[in-house]
Structure 1
């Protein structure tokens, strides 16, 4: 596994490496030799939201609340994030839907520290390590670029934060609005904002996978097509790779 090998090489040369993996979604990795090898190499490992006993878990809380983040932060200078999992491109769990089309972006600037804060929040919730000094020592690098904002969603934060941000962005669109998502099941304000953008002359498009890995979600998504088309939204169904897994609003 290339990622595990790279982490071990970094740990061997003295780099502090922290890895957090969801206890359910990454169970094959956690119970594999790669996990043990990384630990032996000096990589600090955490199992996020541990399941514990499968029989007792329903009495202790919801097991479907998982850590779905995909974040890499390097030296407080560079961050990678998006929809790309540390997995085979064909995602062997669902090979008939391969290849999965993902979006992974590299960022520099203030948004790096935002991702670092998000990772540190999760890390400190699962360990006794205080990462406050690490965050305090980070220097925000300014420069030319564009405005970016990290929003972390979980059961512990206000649910409406991300949908409200999407609606605000859509309502601010002046020339072009492009939305790409594998699962379009919007609430009423998002659907209304998308239609309103097209009606006021903004070039508005929605791209979905032609073949979805969930027929229920696919049916729900297509139920919104009529209103979108009548408003002037152009809808595209991506044919190459049945599961376009990235989410993008630009």
Structure 2
């Protein structure tokens, strides 16, 4: 298992594995942009298809609108399967149950190559500099071994939901051997499940923490149970660190999450604002034992409305490597000081609290 935190290196590794594919390539992303990175992935899929590799691209209908317009016809004409997840229609189509709800999105990011190599994390198909002056920074796990079959199963289930086709080929699940000492499991979540899987797993892990919890997320708009779990962890002496971006791409969401800072700081949560980039990575470490990385933001939308995918890792070595990445974040972050935060202007407090009222819609 490898943790990849260099944007360009991660894109290059994914494309290199697509170029090495022999049987199939299955790619699921929320954003597939009409930019240089979108073109690079498109060209890699076209090269693989020309070698006789079966390629399937599944993209969210909302997040990948630009890439769909730019590349879907070219890919389809070459023989690549291109499918929209949760396509949206008119209001009448929604009311008749013939179209996806606008607020339900497939936010997963999964790549499976030949059923033996998998990628899971926060990486979309988009240029790092998609926002001028605010480059994206991500974290992705490249995995081999039996856990790849779990990533494959999630991809194929999403594909079946959209196409009704269960003929995915026997080579999608090749015989798997253990590839190393790391133990991991896939954690899918979304409105199609009977429970909020990611939210419940995270809360359980936080309640079991004994010494330290470190959470990295671009969006932090928690529900009450998640917020209470963080407070209780602090009250029993656990060091809780929350790493957020100093600047994010959604001003409304940023104000809403800032509305929670007061209660977090009062409980003892240490908040760190990352300066160099838009920290789009989503991961958690609990003590020295458990880590989680994937597409799940720590917000109500990810917990209840989005289809998400995360990898839970039970391995001290992997946790130690993630801790090294987290320490790099902390070294480049500005701490939120409770006494200073309490002195922010009244109009700022008012705006933040108004945005918080819409937290379930963010």
**Residue in structure 2 matched with residue 228 of structure 1 by the alignment:** 264
Match of 2:58 in 1: 20
Q: CA deviation at 1:23?
A: 2.1
Q: CA RMSD in A?
A: 2.3
Aligned-residue offset at 1:239: 1.1
After superposing the two structures, state which structure 1 stretch, 61-70 or 2-11, moved more. 61-70
1:244 matched to 2:279? The reply is yes
Write the distance in 1 (CA, Å) between the matches of 2:168 and 2:210: 40
Q: Cα distance, 1:131 vs. partner?
A: 4.1
Query: What secondary structure is seen at the aligned counterpart in 2 of 1:86?
Result: coil
Alpha-carbon shift at residue 166 of structure 1 (Å)? 0.2
Work out whether residues 11 and 17 of structure 1, in 8 Å CA contact, stay in contact via their aligned partners in 2: yes
Structure 1 residue 202 displacement after superposition: 2.8
Task: Give yes or no for contact 1:101–1:244 (8 Å, CA) kept in 2.
Answer: yes
**Which structure has greater strand proportion?**
2
Note the alpha carbon deviations across 1:97-153, whole angstroms, 9 max, x for none: 721222222122332111111100011122243146538843343243433332223
| Equivalence for 2:305 | none
Query: Does the Cα contact within 8 Å between 1:117 and 1:135 map onto a contact in 2?
Result: no
In structure 2, relative to structure 1, the CA distance for the partners of 1:191 and 1:147 (3 Å cut) is: farther
Bigger drift between 218-227 and 202-211 goes to 218-227
How far residue 35 of structure 1 moved from its aligned partner, in angstroms, is: 2.1
Consecutive unaligned residues of structure 1, counting only runs of 5 or more, are none
Aligned pairs (5 A) from 1:198-237? 198-237=234-273
**TM (normalized to structure 2)?**
0.62
Q: Tell me which residue corresponds to 2:31.
A: none
| 8 A contact 2:54–2:80 mirrored in 1 | yes
Rounded to whole Å, the distance in 1 between the matches of 2:275 and 2:245 is 7
Partner of 1:10: 48
Q: TM-score, normalised by structure 1?
A: 0.87
Aligned in 2, Cα 1:41/1:132: closer, same or farther, shift over 3 Å?
A: closer
- Taking the aligned partners of 1:154 and 1:232, their CA distance within structure 2 comes to 31
- Give the number of aligned pairs: 244
Say whether residues 1:174 and 2:192 are aligned partners.
Answer: no
Q: Which residue of 2 aligns with 1:98?
A: 134
Q: Deviations over 1:204-249 (max 9, x none)?
A: 21001112333332233223223322333221001112x3222111
Q: 1:203 to 1:11 in 2, by over 3 A?
A: same
Contact in 2 for aligned 1:17/1:44 (Cα 8 Å):
yes
Is contact 2:146–2:177 with CA below 8 Å preserved after alignment? yes
Conservation of the 8 A alpha-carbon contact between 1:100 and 1:245? yes
* Whole-angstrom CA distance in 1 between matches of 2:235 and 2:183: 26
State the partner residue of 1:75: 114
Unaligned runs of 5+ residues in structure 2 are 1-38, 286-362
Equivalent of residue 165 in structure 1, options 179, 193, 201: 201
**Residue number in structure 1 paired with 2:149:** 113
CA positional deviation for 1:86? 0.5
